[in-house]
Amino acid sequence: MAGEFSAMISAKTSQVDRKIFSDEEIFREEQRRIFAKAWIFVGHESQIPNAGDYFLSRMGIDPVILVRDKSGSIGVFHNSCRHRGMRVCRYDAGNTRLFTCSYHGWSFGIDGKLVGVPGMKEGYCNKLDKSEWGLIPVAKIANYKGAIWATWDADAVSLEEYLGDMRYMLDLALDSHDGTEGGSEVSIGVQKWTIPSNWKLSAENFIGDLYHNISHRSVDMVGIGPEGTSQRRDEGFINNATLVSVGFHERGHGGINVYLPPEYVDARPYPGEIGEWFRAADKARKDRLGENACILGGVGTVFPNMSFRANQPRQIIVWNPVSATETEVWSWYLFDAKSPDSVKAFMREYALRYCGPAGMTERDDMENWQGATEGSVGGVVESFPYNYAYNLADDEQPFEALPNLPYAKNAVIGATEGNARGFYRQWSIWMDATNWDEIRREQMKIKGRI
Ligand code: FES
């Protein structure tokens, strides 16, 4: 498909037009063409365990309410009153029986139905059909191992098909540390902060930018990890870990895995009770997963704007677009629900030191993304594209150490910008397509590396 937006992404020369990081018209089109059609992560089920529990989330620029109803089902609704658009919920999270609009008083049940209208008799002669004026629901909701996703498009493929084999990488973030399915809970609360940069730069970084390690040298030099080093930088890890880029280009997802030979998997050097818990969990993981337990940690991005870190503390990060040059970052921290308080406290301390607006490592990246966004604005520079040609050959190197890994064929050992190239190719497909049929047709054409 050779459309207006495909022309901004050159598959041949691996160049990307810098206007896609700064142009407000393109930003508005992204809301209609991507965020109104894609599956978007909206929260974790552990945030709303009881009937009436709710959490305010975002799907692109649209505010949504994630809420559990009396039957235990989870609903996702646009957070705006059908009368004149006012937010019907003004709190970040809580428990309620009704969402009552503070403007003229319409009220909605936790199933989204309109249940109360002031002046129903005097103003509407009892003729307003309440069944037609409930909160706007999303078209589909899916729960994958506790992670809740939603889409506005009834024609969207299932979440399982949307994720494809990327779900095996996502499992590393959602499953318990010992390899049992699920069992994670959100801890600390959700950190939210604003960065003056385009949302795609962050998604691109987490999809597999192994090339940017120079940015984090200060972290290693200062030593912020448990033993005064970065996390898991013990000798066994440093000398034996292999970093692997994994791309699912036909869907726009990708990430980085760490491979560690079996003899080092449960040799984590943390002290005392913390170390005991990790070593026991790592051993149980080896027993449960066999050779696939050698895949550890890493980061990834699910197209378009959900990223994750799969090493401890596990983290889900959503890059909520605000404008072409502003992003609201939301960060969830996932701990094993059954881990002891001492381990949770250790993880909490580590998360706050490493991640988020005050964490040393993620702050490095935020400065990069801010600078890159500032460099994308302005009439003089807009005709100079960005270069995405690192490791252009990007040859697949089947993961010989783990031939049975479900995504072994998608591996590239070491750094490449192949995943970023795949991400922007996917972006151009979505931006030029008008419906899901067209998106699927273009995705099917992508074979191998881009
Ligand atoms: Fe909500 Fe009027 S805007 S009742």
pLDDT for res 235: 62
Task: Assess whether the C-beta atom of 106 lies below 6 angstroms from ligand 1.
Answer: yes
* CATH class assigned to 165-445: alpha beta
Ligand 1 centroid from CA 83, angstroms? 5
pLDDT for res 270: 76
Closest CA to ligand 1's atom 2: 104
Task: Assess whether the C-beta atom of 94 lies below 6 angstroms from ligand 1.
Answer: no
Find the angle CA(218)-CA(220)-CA(226) to the nearest 5 degrees: 130
Which of 78, 79, 80, 81 to probe ligand 1 with, by most ligand atoms within 8 A of CB? 81
At CB < 8 A and 24+ separation, what contacts does 376-384 make?
376/18, 376/19, 376/21, 376/22, 376/198, 377/22, 377/325, 381/18, 382/17, 382/18, 382/19, 382/22, 384/18
Atom of ligand 1 minimally distant from the CA of 85: 3
Fold that domain 40-140 belongs to in CATH:
Rieske Iron-sulfur Protein (2.102.10)
* Closest to 130 measured CA to CA, from 154, 111, 144, 155: 111
Task: Assess whether the C-beta atom of 104 lies below 6 angstroms from ligand 1.
Answer: yes
Task: Assess whether the C-beta atom of 219 lies below 6 angstroms from ligand 1.
Answer: no
The number of C-alpha atoms within 13 Å of 124 and in the hemisphere containing its C-beta is 12
pLDDT for res 226: 46
Task: Assess whether the C-beta atom of 90 lies below 6 angstroms from ligand 1.
Answer: no
Residue 347 Cα to chain centre, angstroms: 20
pLDDT for res 363: 80
pLDDT for res 227: 45
Atom of ligand 1 minimally distant from the CA of 86: 3
pLDDT for res 354: 80
Closest CA to ligand 1's atom 4: 104
* Closest to 402 measured CA to CA, from 227, 222, 244: 244
Q: What is the token pair recorded at 416?
A: 């490449």
Tokens 């609704």: give the residue. Answer: 77
Distance CA 408, CA 417 (A): 18
Distance CA 421, CA 207 (A): 10
pLDDT for res 155: 98
Find the angle CA(359)-CA(39)-CA(94) to the nearest 5 degrees: 60
Task: Assess whether the C-beta atom of 86 lies below 6 angstroms from ligand 1.
Answer: yes
pLDDT for res 390: 92
This prediction's pTM: 0.94
Q: Which residues of the chain have pLDDT under 50?
A: 1, 226-228, 450
Ligand 1 centroid from CA 113, angstroms? 14
Determine if the peptide bond prior to 261 is cis (ω within 30°). no
Ligand 1 centroid from CA 104, angstroms? 4
CB 363 within 8 A of CB 213: no
Instruction: List the chain domain ranges.
Output: 40-140, 165-445
pLDDT for res 274: 87
Distance CA 97, CA 111 (A): 10
- In Å, what is the CA distance from 320 to each residue of 6, 46, 218? 23, 21, 28
CB 241 within 8 A of CB 210: no
C-beta neighbour count of 382 within 10 angstroms: 14
C-beta neighbour count of 384 within 10 angstroms: 11
Atom of ligand 1 minimally distant from the CA of 101: 1
Ligand 1 centroid from CA 90, angstroms? 13
